[in-house]
């Protein structure tokens, strides 16, 4: 069976070296690195991508995928933990979120309402429906680490990117 789907996990802004300031050099460097990695994976035959739509890494990766979609035949799925997850975000974050949703090929809501486990269920959905997990991790216990461990328990290929290098 041909492997072709990649899912992503990573930290929200508070777990990133640049926080919310994506204009800092570390974030700019990270975005370039991810873009090059994604082009490499597309050239290896990966064509479907699942992003979790949280603030931080998920949105950054989604925007890069939207940019690449202009040059490559790829499919983007947004896996969302619950309806209205963005309701408490700032207006600018909500606009970014809605823009990404408008450009993706498929939207999957894992739960209708917020529950204590809906984020983990979203992460499990992404791992279960992909061949490769790309994890952007800062080395701390977190939902990202839980997703890495879940992927390993399912014998999924995993690439871990140390965000502290950016």
Provide the 8-state DSSP code for 165: G
pLDDT at site 73: 95
Closest to 123 (Cα-Cα) out of 48, 53, 37: 53
Residue with tokens 């940019």: 67
Q: pTM of the entire structure?
A: 0.95
Which CATH number is 11's domain given?
A: 3.40.50.450
pLDDT at site 1: 45
How many domains in the chain? 1
Domain that holds residue 13: 5-165
DSSP-based three-state secondary structure for 70: coil
pLDDT profile of the chain (166 residues), mean per 10: 85 96 97 98 97 97 97 97 95 98 98 93 98 97 96 97 96
């Amino acid at each position: 069976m041909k492997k072709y789907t990649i899912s992503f996990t990573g930290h929200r802004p508070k777990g990133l070296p640049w926080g919310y300031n994506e204009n800092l050099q570390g974030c700019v460097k990270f975005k370039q690195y991810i873009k090059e990695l994604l082009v490499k994976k597309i050239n290896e035959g990966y064509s479907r991508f699942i992003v979790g739509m949280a603030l931080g890494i998920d949105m950054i990766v989604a925007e890069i995928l939207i940019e690449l979609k202009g040059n490559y035949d790829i499919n983007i799925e947004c896996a969302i933990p619950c309806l209205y997850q963005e309701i408490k975000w700032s207006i600018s974050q909500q606009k970014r979120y809605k823009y990404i949703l408008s450009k993706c090929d498929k939207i999957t809501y894992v739960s209708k309402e917020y529950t204590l486990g809906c984020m983990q269920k979203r992460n499990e959905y992404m791992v279960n429906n992909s061949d490769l997990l790309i994890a952007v991790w800062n080395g701390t216990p977190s939902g990202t680490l839980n997703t890495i461990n879940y992927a390993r328990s399912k014998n999924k290929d995993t690439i871990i990117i140390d965000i502290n290098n950016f």
